[in-house]
Copies of this chain bind each other. A is one copy, B any other.
Amino acid sequence: MAIQKLQWTGPHVVIIGGGFGGLEVAKRLARAKVRVTLVDRRNFHLFQPMLYQVATAALSPSDIASPIRQILTDVPNCRVGLAEVAGIDLAKRQVIFRRHALKYDYLVLAAGATHSYFGNDQWAEVAPGLKSIENAAEIRRRILLAFESAEYEADAESRQAALTFAVIGGGPTGVELAGAIKEIATGTLVADFHYIDTATTRVMLIQSNERLLPQFSPKSSERAKRDLETLGVEVVLNSRVTEITERGFRCGDQFIAARNVFWAAGVAGNPLARSLGVPLDRSGRVIVEPDLSVPGHPEVFVIGDLAAANSADSGAAVPGVAQAAMQGGRHVARLIREEVAAAPSVKPPRAAFVYRDKGSMATVGKARAVVEIGNWKIAGFPAWFLWGAIHIFFLVGFRNRSKVFGKWFWNWLINARDARLILGVSQVQILNASSEDLVDLEEPPRVSSPDDLPAA
């Protein structure tokens, strides 16, 4: 089959992962004499910093996802593959798929991170995390179902458990999620329920550290805590969760009945890293050279959340944020461009990666945030406004931004959460209020087979 629209010449660069890092590499190689193949198992780039907005029904999945093909339409030397990578063969320089292998001259690993439950993988079922669109949809489903189930729960204790939410982990994701859940309960939903007062919903934020947002200054941490408490969130510091079940969680020597526990604590590098056979750090991330390459394999780079890197100037660890992934992508693309442009016999010296911290920010509920840019620290509404502006207008230069901004600003104004769909529910049974019309069945209804169960 002829390659029709591609500019297809030069060394083959394979990029694994269509997140912030991988896309940046592809874009920055647009004018280089290389062939680029970007592989992801999904057809879309996910704007993860807004994922909690999907989990809390303020945005739809498609608002924060853009097709990778569309983002890379103008990169004439890049093809996009939808495939699941099974492993990497560093010796043969091949990416291994189910039935095929793809040869590379350069490989950029930008496959990101997943959750880590610190060895308690059984918690994943009861306490989902927030990394993928599916995670967000599941959290949204659980939040909305919690109120439905409380509405018809006759027993006061069970009702309270249904209306108790706990978010484990006090980083930006945990802070954002806890604030948003409390806001749903006290705002959007109050008028929709007849039997329960959704404003009585209990939202706890459990943090093992002595303060929230440890990557911020103590002053911002304190401000975030105060703002959350103003919203009505209970912030619990210096506490580790030792048990999570469907009924609740144990924290210290207390077991708290909570039907809704969400995980925002640990991350781990994509398991793909293990197939490399090179040293990983405790979180399963690849320990890279100063130029972001894999030790002993200068043709393989790791960027973004999957890399355990230190900035060459300060020696400080590079954080797992979108900015770092994009800067890493730019750095790697530059090294590849320089080597490809050099004469075949010349190996240009490689610059070490320097991470420039452009600032940190986290929202605290609606219309509040904490922002730190260098020594400049702001909080409250101005910080929230800046957070919105930066996230929406600068971070993703993709198609969705005007639409998302419109929807988001509108929701903020009218206090709406439009995306309140409960999907994927097959066996619901939420109509057991004590009521003069309700009859307890002594035996289950006579239905010939489960397939005969009709739908309402």
Residues on A lying within 8 angstroms of B by beta carbon are: 1, 3-6, 12, 16-17, 35, 37, 39-44, 60-63, 65, 67, 69-70, 73, 79, 81-87, 94, 96-104, 111, 114, 133-134, 144-145, 148, 152, 154, 156, 191-195, 197, 270-275, 399-400, 403, 406-407, 410, 416, 418-423, 425, 427-434, 437-441, 444-445, 447, 452-456
Contacts and interface: CB of A to CB of B under 8 A. Distances in A.
Contacts of A428: 41, 82-84
A272 B454 contact: yes
Q: Which of A100, A406, A433 has the most CB of B within 10 A?
A: A100
A43 B57 CA distance: 13
Of A39, A271, A420, A452, most B-chain CB atoms within 10 Å: A420
- Most chain B beta-carbon contacts within 10 A, residue among A62, A133, A275: A62
A422 B100 contact: no
Given A73-B192, A81-B152, A86-B445, A420 B44 contact: yes
A456 B84 contact: yes
A57 to B, nearest CB: 8
A82 B456 CA distance: 10
A71 to B, nearest CB: 10
Most buried by B among A4, A69, A407: A69
Contacts of A270: 454-455
Contacts of A83: 428-431, 456
Contact of A60 (B62, B406, B429, B445): B62
A447 B17 CA distance: 20
Nearest to A196: B4
Contacts of A433: 1
Given A16-B456, A148-B43, A444-B98, A430 B82 contact: yes
A193 B78 CA distance: 11
Given A4-B195, A429-B98, A456-B111, A421 B43 contact: yes
A205 to B, nearest CB: 27
Contacts of A272: 454-456
Nearest to A273: B454
- Closest 3 A/B residue pairs (Cβ): A272-B454, A69-B192, A62-B419
